[in-house]
Amino acid sequence: MEDCKDKFKNPEFSFSDIEKREDTDFLFCLQWGAKGIGFGEFNFYYKDDKLCCDTEMMSGEFIKKAFCAMVDNCTLIDQ
């Protein structure tokens, strides 16, 4: 069980797609994978004038780690 907790503390992310979904109310969808954890997607949208995220049961901390990993692994333009 401890090994599983360690994977969530320091997930090894890969990203398959970031897309704007024209046919839905979603602003964008981040599709992710993490070694030893699985895969999923985070869908962001507005509801009642509030930004919301469909998390697929992942924590806010996990989502923050995913976004940090995405930024850490991207090419920054105009920096």
CB neighbours (10 Å) of residue 26? 19
Please provide the distance, in angstroms rounded to a whole number, between the alpha carbons at the two ends of the chain.
42
Contact criterion met (CB below 8 Å) for 20 and 28: yes
Tokens read off for 42 = 């985070």
Predicted confidence pLDDT, tens digits, the chain (79 residues) = 557 777 888 888 887 777 776 766 778 888 999 999 999 999 998 889 899 999 999 999 999 999 999 889 889 998 7
Place of tokens 């995405």: 70
Q: What is the dihedral of CA 53, 56, 58, 60, to 10 degrees?
A: 0
Token digits of residue 37 = 């954890």
Residue 8: its pLDDT value, please? 85
